[in-house]
């Protein structure tokens, strides 16, 4: 199963990758399974994906939970929690 992966902001910088395509094994069914694969790459990957509070994910540009099932040709993105807060734009 082929998927496109995108990484943004702090995560992108930490792992040094902004996008990639992966051909996943048949036993990878959910985003959670995919995260385990990424953590297996070690060092920065392990650091970035160990704490569920430090990242969010989207499949085909919709925010999802880690239990979300992935399908072939899905676009999966990982990024930090969305970061605006009032003092920035005078709001």
90 belongs to the binding site for another protein (CB under 8 A): yes
16 belongs to the binding site for another protein (CB under 8 A): no
DSSP 89: G
Beta bridge partners of 77: 6, 58
17 belongs to the binding site for another protein (CB under 8 A): no
Which of 9, 20, 52, 65 lies at the binding interface for another protein (CB under 8 A)?
9
Question: Alpha helices, DSSP H only, in the chain?
Answer: 9-15, 31-39, 43-50
Which of 6, 17, 30, 38 lies at the binding interface for another protein (CB under 8 A)?
6
Q: Are 8 and 81 in contact (CB under 8 A)?
A: no
- Residue 9 CB neighbours (<10 A): 13
Tokens of 43: 């060092």
Stretch that binds another protein, among 29-37, 44-52, 66-74, 76-84 (CB under 8 A): 76-84
The residues of the shown chain that bind another protein, judged by CB under 8 A, are: 6, 8-10, 13, 58, 61-62, 77, 79-91
């Amino acid at each position: 199963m082929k998927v496109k992966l995108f990484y943004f902001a702090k995560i992108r910088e930490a792992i040094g990758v902004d996008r990639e395509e992966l051909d996943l094994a048949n036993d990878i069914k959910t985003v959670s399974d995919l995260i385990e694969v990424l953590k297996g790459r070690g060092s920065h990957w392990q650091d970035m994906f160990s704490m569920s509070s430090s990242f969010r994910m989207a499949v085909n540009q919709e925010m999802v939970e880690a239990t979300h099932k992935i399908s072939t040709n899905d676009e999966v993105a990982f990024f930090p929690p969305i970061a605006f807060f009032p003092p920035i734009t005078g709001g």
